[in-house]
A and B are shown apart, each in its own frame.
Chain A
Amino acid sequence: MHGRTRWLDPPLLFFLTWLVACGTALQSGRYADEKLGGDSDASGNAGIPAAPTDGSERELESSFEAPVATGRYLWVANPLSGRVAYIDAASLAVSTVAAGNGPTHVAAIGNEDATIVINVRSNDATLLRLTATGITTKTYPLAPGMNHWSISKDGRYAIAWTDAKKVPLAQKTQGFQEITVVDLATDIATVLSVGYRPTQITFDAAAAQAFAMTADGISVIALATPAVIRNVRLADDLATAAKATDVSVNAAGTHAIVRFEGTDIVTVVRLADGTKTPLLLGTPVTDLDLLPAGDEAIAVMRESSSLALISVSDAPAPQSIALASQKMGSVTTAADAAIALLYTNASAVEEVSILSLGPPATARPARVYSRVLGAFATQDGAHAVVLHEPPASDGTGAFSLLPLAADLPAKIVATNAAPLFVALTADSSRALVVTADVGKKRQAAYLARMPALSTQAIELGSKPLAAGIVEGARRAFVAQSHPAGRVTFIHLDSGETRTLTGFELGARIATGGQP
């Protein structure tokens, strides 16, 4: 899986909604590889799904939407007022700009201070670009019902699509097959149709093609035209195809790799003509992740305590690696380093395995002192944040800071509530873990410093909704539930915190000769 923003809790907002910046959120900080999500359980701990009874790994889906950070700004959409607020994270100055009717889903564009927002009631998108002279806007028509963005790395293409998981009570007859490709260089928006219910849209490194992962396979989109040029099935029989999961496309956009739930099959598919190379790995594959370089994938087989490195190409040549440690079912990788973390959240295992991809690939176990829920490696691969399952009854939680590069023990940090969000800085020196117990109204953020592994706890005023890093302002942010909007900024070096509540109010202050 690509590194993406992953949150635990569905938002319960009154009139502010927060948007995930698919993929581009990485610009503001690296988020969890593992997906965290779910519904509230009886104790009020939102977001952590109950342990499955069949022993399968928990896939924690991204169900959350976060404010978008660009440079030193945080962007927040207000669907009711039709305005988008942008907050200078350093000075906390708030400005607003008018978007369309019902601006809701925001995504960052490229490396500039620019975002694009879906206006859900007017079925269009507004591009907002902040320059030295002010802010400019442009509007593009969209197909109706769009609720998600995928943005090419060069910032030229923005594809709006509908994630069925965000549509409550969606009928089976709703295929959500329309997408809108917005070419920001030519200002042309084109509506296309892809397969049934896309779950992900990615781009090749050259931004020449986009790939929509759907129930019908992969819809290949030529962006220059734009047009859907072919559909690539992932399996020849429909029954196997229905089990397809963890689909990834390599960086070159030539091949895709997929596993099929409950089977030992991993298939590499050539996208040009659909040629399939199935690989039988012996025991069911429990996780499949594309490595950051984009040309290799790692498959994990929990039952056999082994994994396989597979080239996503015409010659997959899987390389098998046996693990000496306990059964690991999930994997997460570091962006810049040849390091992967293996763990399992399907059983009460207090261990992770640190895999150095080499070559040769070697693994060593690392002890942690509580059941693992998820793990997130820093960009440089030197450390990881390991989230733990909350203890049964008292609502508290814990996380560990684990050195990966050095063979040093993990440090466990007890928290006042279950961890919900993790955000990591691009320089790998800081991590933010946000916890919340909705029932007991306890919520806090923990700022961790690496390599010292020291932590600072910051109590929060209300239920956290999202967290991230505003790299340009050297601050972490935690967005919280409040009718008028609330975000806490935490300085990454000094630990100083400032909270802003009431974006509409803050943007309506008149000073001097201004109205």
Chain B
Amino acid sequence: MSRAIVLCLLLAACGSSETRYAPATLESFGLTRSIALIDRNEHEVILLEAAPEQRLASKTIAVGKNISRALMSADARFLFVLSAGDSPRRKASDERPSLTVIDGETLAIVLRYELPILRDKLVLDPRGRYVALFAGDSTSAVVDNPNEIVLLDLAAEPSDANPLVHTLRSFGGRPQRFTFTDPLELPGGTRRLLVAETEKDVAILDLERMAGSKGEITVRLDLPSANASLAPNGLIADDGEAGRDDDARLAVRIKGDSAVLVLDLVANAAGDLTARTNLVDVGGEPSEISFVTTDGGRRMVALVPAMKHAALVTLATTAVQTMPLPAAYDRLAFVEEASQPTPRSALLWGQGVALWSLDLATGRPFASVESLALPGKIKEVRDLPGAPNQKLLIGDQNSFFVLDLRDRTVAPLLTQSNALQYYLPRDVRRLWAFQPAQARAARVNLDTLQAKSLVFDRNVHAMYELTYIDGDREGRALIALHGEGTVGATVLDPAIADEADARVYFGLMIGGVK
């Protein structure tokens, strides 16, 4: 079959003297039913939809002027676009900073907020309800308070209090990182917290008590007597046992330190929420901390790759049990099993991979870790669609592996380079591998582990699969984006993966698809 090439039509802009699209770097997002391309020049988002016979449809959505940042929600359905607005504003119609929320399934704006102040960093609530905005490292304002944050409640109507501007209590620091917790059973009821880390303290915000300062707790980590300060470096939250409201806690890593700060979330004498501090030395700077349920009960675990050990901490006494590991693992992920209320095993990776049986972690630690000898370091571990017992292990030795936790098999697949990127479409047993700025890619069938190579006409920037409705059936299309020039795409049937059957599009940023 001859290759059908469709030339996209140039967008007519008769008489327009505007300079057309000249992107520096393509920014794209794979939403659930569309691909979003960010067009900063035109203050727009271009949404691409798949259609039968390798066709593409596009829709252009205008967002606020001067896009500063875009983020996709955790479920990949929504795109959040933060815009700085017009600066300077000379007339009433000039735009203020704004946040636009686009639904990638309906291809429409679902929410738009005008923001009272300009903030250029964005944090999304993993549960999709809140958005936090805070200041970046530099400011264009004459004077700016970096501790002013903006909080949006997407479940509430826009109002004077939504978005809410809140100034964090500061002791000299400025926010570096935010974390939204899951609901926690706390004194006074179950609710969620927003935790801000600065260079020298941790601020805990009660999301249901943001009004005034009543809901804010600041844990200062500067130690005047030692003329030093502890710098928080990431945290996790744990709800403790179900039914108890006095055992929720936060665990905070400290930069460059072997201590982990554990904050017990308890009630003070007046019944208000406060934090009780505990420093736990885990024997070396931890690369990751988590809470696990072992045969000995609930523990905090800290991976210390420099010491090749995991530290298991009994939270009531802060007694530390050190468990030697066969290699320097620096990451941990739980293996979720539908039949188990809590994970019974965890995957450890870094210099190699191991499976850790949590049921043996405290009673027989020497027998709890089963290591898998793999060459090189594992850089990343991903879940594979449709198979909770399988994991994708991405190594640094021109290879990746498909790990089957049930069979304990590890299938190596060799790659051309260590710089490959991998795309795993949802709900289908396929993997796409490509090297950015090169024209070659591969498809791997995750059931048979058969690989098929593809060669495109142009370099690949990103690959996505989209579904479309064709009558009474659902189809799928693979879209390989080419980021050079005005941006193009090659569309083909992912099941067949035949270049000869592909359609190629050009100029997506200057006219869309006609």
The contact string, 1 if C-beta is below 8 Å from chain A, for chain B 287-322, is: 000000000000000000000000000101111100
Check B213 against A15 for contact (C-beta < 8 Å).
Answer: no
CB nearest neighbor in A for B230: A505
The residue of chain A having its C-beta at the shortest distance from the C-beta of B218 within the complex is A510
Task: Pick from A92, A497, A509: contact of B219, CB below 8 A.
Answer: A509
Alpha-carbon gap, A484 to B258, bound state (A): 13
Closest to A81 in B: B225
B268 with A511: CB separation less than 8 A: yes
Binding-face segment, B65-73, B78-86, B274-282: B274-282
**Which one, A15, A93, A460, A499, contacts B268 given CB within 8 A?**
A93
Instruction: Check A501 against B317 for contact (C-beta < 8 Å).
Output: no
The reply on A504 being an interface residue by CB < 8 A is: yes
Judge if B88 is at the interface, Cβ distance under 8 Å.
no
> Which residues on B sit within 8 Å (CB–CB) of A486?
318
Asked if residues A500 and B276 are in contact (CB atoms below 8 Å), the reply is yes
Inter-chain CA distance A511–B265, complex, in Å, is 12
- Is the Cβ of A508 less than 8 Å from the Cβ of B220? yes
Residues of B close to A15: CB separation below 8 A? 225-226
The interface bits of chain A over 486-515 (1 if a CB of B lies within 8 angstroms of the residue's CB, else 0) are 101000000011111110111011111101
The residues of B that contact A459 with a CB separation of less than 8 Å are: 314, 317, 319
Given contacts A504-B223, A505-B221, contact A461 B320 (CB under 8 A): yes
Does A91 sit within 8 A of B, measured CB to CB? yes
Bound state CA distance, A488 and B220, in angstroms?
A: 22
C-alpha gap A474/B261 in the complex (Å)? 27
A222 within 8 A of B: no
A506 to B277, CA, bound (A): 5
Inter-subunit contact A509/B220 (CB<8 Å): yes
CA gap between A496 and B316 in the complex, in Å:
8
A505 lies within 8 A of B277 (CB): yes
Q: Tell me, rounded to whole Å, the shortest Cβ–Cβ distance linking B317 to chain A.
A: 5
Q: Which of A52-87 contact B (CB under 8 A)?
A: 78, 80-82
In the bound complex, how far is the Cα of B319 from the Cα of A498, in angstroms?
11
In the complex, chain B residues 214-266 whose Cβ is within 8 Å of any chain A Cβ = 214, 216-226, 261, 266
Determine whether B169 belongs to the interface, using a CB cutoff of 8 Å to chain A. Answer: yes
Q: Given A81-B225, A488-B317, do A509 and B272 touch, yes or no (CB 8 Å)?
A: no
B24 within 8 A of A: no
Q: How many A-B residue pairs have CB under 8 A?
A: 96
Given the interface pairs A81-B225, A482-B279, the reply to whether A461 lies near B269 with Cβ below 8 Å is no
- Could you mark each residue 222-241 of chain A with 1 if its beta carbon is under 8 Å from any beta carbon of chain B, else 0? 00000000000000000000
Q: Counting CB contacts under 8 A, is A458 at the interface? A: yes
- Please tell me if the beta carbons of B277 and A501 are within 8 angstroms of each other in the complex: yes
Known A504-B223, A505-B221, A512-B272; judge A499-B317 contact (CB<8 A): yes
Looking at chain B's contact residues, the main secondary structure is: strand
Interface residues in A, total, Cβ within 8 A: 34
* Chain B residues, Cβ within 8 Å of A509: 217-220, 274-275, 277
Partner of B278, one of A91, A502, A510: A502
- B296 to chain A: closest CB distance in Å? 11
Specify which of B218, B223, B275, B317 is in contact with A461 (CB 8 Å cutoff): B317
Q: Is the CB of A511 within 8 A of B272?
A: yes
Residues of A within 8 A of B266 (CB): 91-92
A505 to B276, CA, bound (A): 9
In the bound complex, CA of A434 to CA of B81 (Å): 60
State which residues 256-279 of A face B: CB under 8 Å: none
Using Cβ atoms and an 8 Å threshold, which residues of chain A touch B217? 509-511
A497 to B217, CA, bound (A): 25
Residues of B within 8 A of A482 (CB): 279, 281
Closest to B224 in A: A81
Q: Is the CB of A461 within 8 A of B280?
A: yes
C-alpha gap A332/B221 in the complex (Å): 47
Q: Which residues of B contact A80 (CB under 8 A)?
A: 225-226
Least CB distance, A126 to chain B, in whole angstroms: 17
Q: How far is the CB of B236 from chain A (nearest CB, A)?
A: 19
B317 and A484 within 8 A (CB): no
* Contact (Cβ within 8 A) A511 B318: no
Contact with B along A10-40 (1 / 0, CB 8 A): 0000010000000000000000000000000
Is A510 a contact partner of B224 (Cβ separation < 8 A)? no
Asked if A93 and B269 make an inter-chain contact with CB atoms under 8 angstroms apart, the answer reads yes
Interface centre among B216, B278, B280 (most CB of A within 10 A): B278
Most A Cβ at <10 Å: residue of B268, B273, B279, B317 = B317
Q: Which residues of B contact A78 (CB under 8 A)?
A: 225
In this complex, which of B214, B216, B219 has the most chain A Cβ atoms within 10 angstroms of its Cβ?
Answer: B219
Give the residue among A482, A498, A510 with the most B Cβ atoms within 10 A: A510
For B212, list chain A residues within 8 Å (CB). 513
Question: Are A499 and B278 neighbours in the complex by a CB distance under 8 Å?
Answer: yes
Q: Which residue of B lies closest to A444 (CB)?
A: B319
CA distance A506 to B274 in the complex (A): 10
Rounded to whole angstroms, the CA-CA distance of A82 and B275 in the bound complex is: 24
Interchain CB contact under 8 A, A500 and B278: yes
Most buried by A among B169, B218, B219, B276: B276
Nearest Cβ on chain A to B195's Cβ, whole angstroms: 14
**Complex CA distance for A515 and B172, rounded to whole angstroms:** 13
- Whole-angstrom distance between the Cβ of B131 and the nearest chain A Cβ: 26
A513 CA to B319 CA in the complex, in Å?
35
List 24 A–B pairs whose Cβ atoms lie within 8 Å, in order of A's numbering. Answer: A80-B225, A81-B224, A458-B317, A460-B319, A461-B318, A461-B319, A484-B279, A488-B317, A497-B316, A499-B316, A499-B317, A502-B261, A502-B278, A505-B261, A505-B277, A505-B279, A506-B276, A508-B220, A509-B218, A509-B219, A510-B169, A511-B268, A511-B273, A511-B274
Other than the given A93-B268, A501-B318, 5 more pairs (CB < 8 A) read A80-B225, A81-B224, A461-B317, A499-B318, A505-B279
Instruction: Rank and list the top 4 A-B pairs by shortest CB-CB distance, nearest first.
Output: A81-B225, A80-B225, A459-B319, A461-B318
